[in-house]
Amino acid sequence: MRAVLCALSFDPAGVVALNVAPDGLGETRRRMNRVPTLDGGAVFNDFGFAETDRTLTLRWTPRSAATEAAVARLVQLYAQITVATPQGFYLAALEVYTPGTTESTLSLLVVSKLA
């Protein structure tokens, strides 16, 4: 599966295309919590789903040092980027980049779904 990361401002080196693992892009969750009650039951507060509750987790096998350096550069220079995936086009905040020899990961906090 393909994911494309792109800087928000003009940057000739600010685009990175990754072949990410096809087993998903992270979790989708609802805004819900559970409060125990005195009678031994529970009350559930369900406030629905929002795209901003999503965390995109991209995992890929490193192919070149140049690609890894480009991802690291995006994390170091930009607070937010756009991310194109088969699930949609997102504005996301860069959270954690973990380079590795067999697998690299990038966690992105969704700010909004653009398309």
One digit per residue, the tens of pLDDT, for the chain of length 115 reads 999 999 999 999 999 999 999 876 777 888 999 999 999 999 999 999 999 989 999 999 999 999 999 999 999 999 999 999 998 999 999 999 999 999 999 999 999 999 9
Structural domains of the chain, ranges and CATH numbers in brackets: 2-113 (2.40.30)
Q: Give the contacts of 67 (CB within 8 A, at least 6 positions apart).
A: 16, 18
The encoded tokens of residue 84 equal 């194109």
pTM for this one?
Answer: 0.84
